[in-house]
Every structure is written in structure tokens, then in C-alpha cells.
Amino acid sequence: MTAQQIQETRLENASNSAQGNFYSSPSGFIESTNPLHNPEIRTEIGRYLKKSALACCASVCWEWNRTFTPLLYSIVEITKMTNTNPPIETFRRNKSFIKSMAITTDTLDSKYSHLLMPNLETLKLHLKDSSNNTEPMIQNHKNIRSLDLSCVSTNDKIMFWESVASLPHLEELTIRDQYGHETDTMWDICSSRLKKLNIFNSQFRGLLAFTGTGTSSIGTADFHLLRDLTISKCGFHATIQPVLIMKCQNLERLVWKIDLFDRGTTTEIATLFQGFTEILASGKWPNIKSLAVGFNLVSDAAYAEFVRALNNRTLEEFDVSMTQFGELAFSALKCRFSTLRVLNIRKCPNLTSANVLEILASCPHLQSLTVDRIYAQYLDPNQEWPCRKTLQSLSIEFELGQEPKLDEPSAATVMETKPQKLNEIVFTCLGQLRELKHLSINYHELDIYSRQNGVVSIPLEIQLSKGLGELVGLKRLSHFSMGVLTDSLGPGEVDWMLRNWSNLDILEGFSNSTTEIPMERAVKQKGITIKLNT
């Protein structure tokens, strides 16, 4: 027996003696009563562990190694930080376990492009320089279903897209930061194979040249399989993007973002949006359930008409962030509250605290909400929000000062409730959201807003003496983001978070001074990631 085998035996014996009891079955075999001796149970537990915990579990004994190593290497990443990348021998030894690989480097090293991973299904290539190693990297992995390409340029674009076309199971394609790198083969792949297509910050000659009567692939293709389409920051070309969207008749999810940086005039963008609204009202895209539409020069009234154009469709996800979406459009959206699961109305300056509160009080199936702010003076600690049983992600800013009413002389009246009490009320209201996994109460932009409008800002204070203890029931919380609020944070508060939020993975928003608190060591020992304010 080798020294390594002896060590493994000792670890296994120590694990067995510490983990449970054994009994003799009628057949004479020794069986354990400890559930951790069951590989299926260990595998299920492993699905919820972080990389560091999986690595520890894999080193306990041979049986545990066999359970946790496949989970540890199912998702791998190669970055520019070469000292943090596992040795190539490690990849070769565990290549059969790798299902997802992300490579974010300047160029693609041939040692990775020729690595054969038989079960690879997701590949992300975010490269900076041209490389001829991308073709073999793609061709050697026929089980790829999802391909994400960023700044990928090769010496032979025809060969590159033919290598992509050789993937028989490809369903999802993401293209980022590409300019004039497409071929007819690329559009054939998009139209005949894909269920999901994402295009970010890219421009293609075929798209730019197409006017509705051309002969390019996009002009004659039928994207009937496509269910999910994203077009964002791809330049304003009024006759082109709508043509692509129109061809996707079976869409269930659409993300379409156009703003000032896309070089369209106010009139052009308004006309495009009106045409889109009219087509939507005519019954096009009957299966659409998720919409993220960003036309930042379009009026509130136009957005109201757009919402009404949905007619009897069931809307589950809606994103109109960074637009003029306001009171008129909000009123039109109310009839959709019963089905909404995801809502993003961040940076919509025409919405008020009353609108945010109505969302919380009227959306029983809401799972994710992203808004700017709500003034705590409107919160009722005795009101139960219907979404308390479903909400998993909340991004919001709480303001303890008085909401400005610029059109009323009474705007400067003294508030009836003091900030100390409002601070406690905020935590009382948040405490009912027991399903929260992500909570962000950032204050990155409120100070700028306040200075511009002459408003006195009173931010929330994260202190146990001011109500933080009301969040003791948020046992599922894994990501807590505080922005500049950590100025009020002390070691006692961090210690309380560590003791009461057992699923916590990320604490975000620390400044350089608050990272020096005594609890930093404990945070690191528990494997929690600390993210600093930038």
C-alpha cells in the first residue's frame, strides 16, 4: 500500500468514525445509518456548495472525492490571472467532468483548444487578439449547446463560422463586440438552429446592407425556432433591427435597447417605437411573456400605448429601466400586476414612492424588483406585502428624509415621524421578505440626486440599535449589498450577519476603512466574498 493510499484510508476512517454509526444488515453486510454515507445525498448537498467547500469535501476521503470532484470541475474558468488557473494536467485528469468552460484571456492558448472535453455543453470565449485556435476548440466539442463569443476574430471568418455550423446540438449563441465578422453561414445557423440569440454592441455588414429587398441570408431566412432574442447597443438602423425581430414570430422573450448612443434622432426613434407598438397590437408575437424595451427618448404616453398594445397576453417579466416610463404607463401596467414575476423600473425619474409601494402591495407573484428609491415616510410596518412569499431579489434605496414636492409650497413641512423610527420601520418591512436571496440597498446615486434638487438626504443606517435585528428571519439571504451605508457599520453588525445569515456568500459595499474591522478574518474564514465600493 502506497503512502497516498494509507493517507486516504486514515481520512476515510476518521470520516466514518466522526460521521455516523453502522449496523449489520440481515445479509451480513455492514451498513451505515448516516445519510452522508449515501452518495446521492452527498451529490445533492454538493449542488449548493461553493468551490472552496467542494474542494475541502473532495479531500476528505476516496468516497467523498468520487462524489464531489465531478461537481468541483463541472464549471471551470480560465482568466488572465495565470497564477489562479488550475494546471493543464488538472484539466486533463478531470476533463470528463467539465460541462461549462469560460476562457477570458488575450488569446487562446493551443493547450486549451486541443483539450478534449467529451461532456462540454457551454463554452464562453472572451478573447482580445486573433487566434486560429478557436476553430479546433469548437470543432472538437460536438456536444456544445451554448456558445458565447466576445471579440473573437480569426484570420478566416468563413472557416470559423463553418466550425460553429458543425455543432449539431447548438441552441444558444451570444455575440459581443463583433464588427463585420459575419457570413451567410452565421445567419443560416441563427435562422435554422437557434432557440436563443443575443447580440451586444455589434454591427454586421449583412445587417447594415439589408434594406428589405436584398438577397442576404437575413433577408430570406425564417427564424421560426427562435424563442429568445436580445439586441442591445447595436447602432440605430431603423429598417434593419425591426426586420430581424419581425421574422421571429414565435418569440417568448425580447430584449431591445436603443438610446442616444445608437445615433438615432428623437423623431426616428419615436417613429420606430410607434411602428413596433402598432405591430404588437396587431397580434404579432402572441407567445411573448418577457419584454425589456429601452427607448430612452420615447414619452410616457407612448409607453402607455405600448403596454396597452399587449392586449390579452400574459406578461411575466417587464424591464423599462432608464426610460421616461411614468404615471400614464404605470396606470396601464396595473392590470398586469397579477402575473408579473420580474419588474425593473430603475432610473425612471417620472415614478414616485407611491408607485413603488403599490407594486409591493399589489404583485402577489413578484420574484424580482429593481427600483430607484422609496421614501420611508410612506411605509406601514403593519402592512403585509403579498409578494413576501415570493420575492427573492430586491434592489432599492430607502430614504429617511421627506420626499420633495416641488410643485407644492408645503414641501418643507416638518416630518411627523423621526428618522430613527423610520429606520426601524424600514427593517420591519424588509423582515417580512423571508424568501430574499439578494438584497441591495445601495446609495450610489441618491446623493447626486439630492444635491441637484436641493433635498436633504437622510440615508438608512445599518445598525442593530436601529432595527437591523428585524432581518433575523432572512435565512436564505446569500448576497447583501450596502453601498456607502457601511459607514454606519461596526464589528457587532458584521458578527450578527455571520451568525444569522448562514447562506451568505457576498457582502458588497465595504469601503477601505470598514474592511479593517476585526470581523474581516472571520468573514474570510467562512468563505464569504467581500466586495469594495469603487
In terms of Cβ atoms closer than 10 Å to its own Cβ (0-12, 13-18, 19+), residue 189 is buried
- Of the candidates 41, 25, 23, the one whose C-alpha atom is nearest the C-alpha of residue 33 is 23
Using 50, 70 and 90 to split pLDDT, how confident is the model at 523? low
User: Would you list the domain boundaries of the chain?
Assistant: 1-72
pLDDT above 60 (res 128)? yes
pLDDT above 60 (res 131)? yes
Answer with the residue of higher pLDDT: 313 or 48.
313
Average pLDDT over residues 194-210: 74
**Would you say 200 and 233 are in contact if contact means Cβ atoms under 8 Å apart?**
yes
Full DSSP string of 431-472: HT-TT-SEEE---SSHHHHHHHHTPPP-B----GGGTGGGGG
pLDDT given at position 84: 75
Full DSSP string of 232-250: ES----TTTHHHHHHH-TT
Which residue in this structure is represented by grid cell 424563442?
227
Using 50, 70 and 90 to split pLDDT, how confident is the model at 188? confident
One-letter amino acid of 290: S
Full DSSP string of 417-429: S-HHHHHHHHHHH
Other Cβ atoms within 10 Å of 328 Cβ, number: 18
Q: Dig out the grid coordinates for 462 from the structure.
A: 445599518
* Bridge-based pairing state of the strands 529-532 and 368-375: unpaired
| Mean pLDDT rounded to a whole number for the chain | 82
Average pLDDT over residues 455-467: 85
pLDDT above 80 (res 403)? no
**Would you say 426 and 398 are in contact if contact means Cβ atoms under 8 Å apart?**
yes
Using 50, 70 and 90 to split pLDDT, how confident is the model at 520? low
pLDDT given at position 216: 46
Average pLDDT over residues 378-382: 93
**Would you say 353 and 376 are in contact if contact means Cβ atoms under 8 Å apart?**
no
d(CA 288, CA 254): 8
Average pLDDT over residues 191-215: 69
**Would you say 289 and 315 are in contact if contact means Cβ atoms under 8 Å apart?**
yes
* pTM exceeding the 0.75 threshold for the entire prediction: yes
End-to-end CA distance of the chain: 54
- Picking from 123-127, 152-156, 208-212, which range would have the lowest pLDDT averaged per residue? 208-212
pLDDT above 60 (res 307)? yes
Give CA angle at 492 (488, 496), nearest 5°.
110
Using 50, 70 and 90 to split pLDDT, how confident is the model at 430? very high
Half-sphere exposure of 508 (CA within 13 A, CB side): 17
Q: Dig out the grid coordinates for 256 from the structure.
A: 431591445
- Picking from 151-160, 211-220, 331-340, 382-391, which range would have the lowest pLDDT averaged per residue? 211-220
Most confident of 25-39, 142-156, 340-354: 340-354
Which residue in this structure is represented by grid cell 432581518?
471
- Picking from 30-34, 257-261, 393-397, which range would have the lowest pLDDT averaged per residue? 30-34
Answer with the residue of higher pLDDT: 383 or 450.
383
Most confident of 122-136, 181-195, 462-476, 520-534: 462-476
Average pLDDT over residues 371-384: 92
pLDDT given at position 508: 83
pLDDT in tens, 36-45: 778 888 888 8
- Picking from 217-231, 280-294, 423-437, which range would have the lowest pLDDT averaged per residue? 217-231
pLDDT in tens, 282-294: 999 999 999 999 9
SS (H, E, C) 472-518: HHCCCCCEEECHHHHHHCCHHHHHHHHHHCCCCCEEEEECCCHHHCC
Beta bridge partners of 291: 254, 318
